[in-house]
Amino acid sequence: MRELTYAQAVREAMTLEMRRDENVFLMGEDVGLYGGAFGVSAGMFEEFGEARVKDAPISEAVIVGAAAGAAAMGMRPIAEIMFSDFLTIAMDQLVNQAAKMRYMFGGKASVPMVVRTASGSGTGAAAQHSQSPEAWFCNAPGLKVVMPSTPSDAKGLLISAIRDNNPVLFFEPKMLYRTKGHVPEGDYTVPLGKADIKREGADLTIVSYGRMLPICLDAAVQLEKNEGISVEVVDPRTLVPLDKETIITSVAKTGRVLIVHEACQTGGFGGELAAVIADSEAFFKLDAPIRRCCGLDVPIPYCPELEKNAVPDKDVIMENALSLVRG
């Protein structure tokens, strides 16, 4: 199997779907001639032309709103919002219009659109270009929220998202764009709403997604090698709808859980995960508190040393894991 970067995998998903279905098109800032701020859509303008790879002005509200309107009328747009921090400019169109339309209209409308956006810190882009705001959108019924952690997941999930008849918010952690992984060729889907056990284990469950997931896997390998601790790592992949069963089963098996995400801890999605676990059969198997090890409650600082401090790293993850298992 060949290796692709995460960015290439995303591009491949969009390209395959646009070849397959003429209703799919891409719209966003600098996606056409420039090939995307992160190079994700490079080459697509050349293949599909400006009719289907549309450069938009700096107008997040109408980018998302026009996507919603076009979707309601039968198209399948992919709207790109360059940095997830900018979703705030399109909040009304995303949350009040796209998410609610179907319900408000008694099921008479569907909005088959995808909003793709680059999220997360680590590139020195500082506070207004580094947020991981996925939690806000998990509280807007009607939206689906996805954040893949590997290239093969990214491709399969994006194809599923494009084919889904609901508005899907697709977060691409920008620090993962250059990571490589095996990606199957051709058409395949990874279902939305299905978690993936990325590593099996018996002593502790780590639930993580996005940029933190590979770091958790590294921590798991080291914990096994150095400490003889067997760690199971579960990647929800889709936050809404959440695959609760897989998570509950895993925590019931190991009796211990550590939740890791780069978004700020307070009000972050980890709270939702913790509550789901606490109010389930897994509760009676818990032999340690449900712990979160997530981003600090700060806007992301500029200075690289501080930026690193704002999110968990392998050491603090391992420290928390050890304390849960041995404490």
Residues 12-41 that bind other proteins (CB under 8 A): 25
Q: Is 53 in the site for other proteins (CB under 8 A)?
A: no
What whole-number distance in Å separates Cα of residue 293 and Cα of residue 308? 14
CB of 214 to other proteins, least distance (A): 17
Q: Which of residues 158-197 bind other proteins (CB under 8 A)?
A: 164-166
What whole-number distance in Å separates Cα of residue 219 and Cα of residue 230? 11
What whole-number distance in Å separates Cα of residue 320 and Cα of residue 327? 10
Candidates 13-21, 31-39, 138-146, 170-178; binding stretch for other proteins (CB under 8 A): 138-146
CB of 1 to other proteins, least distance (A): 22
CB of 283 to other proteins, least distance (A): 5
Q: Is-cis flag, bond preceding 241, omega within 30?
A: yes
Q: Which of residues 57-86 bind other proteins (CB under 8 A)?
A: 57, 59, 61-62, 64-75, 77
- Residues belonging to the active site: 129
**Token pair of 39, please?**
């190079």
Pick from 264, 212, 255: nearest CA to 230: 255
What whole-number distance in Å separates Cα of residue 199 and Cα of residue 179? 18
Binding mask 274-293 for other proteins (x = CB under 8 A): ---------xxxxxx--xxx
Q: What type of residue is 121?
A: S
CB of 265 to other proteins, least distance (A): 7
Nearer to other proteins, 42 or 62 (CB): 62
> CA separation (Å) from 208 to 61, 169, 217, 252?
31, 18, 10, 17
Binding mask 87-126 for other proteins (x = CB under 8 A): --x--xx--xx---xxxxxxxxxx-x--------------
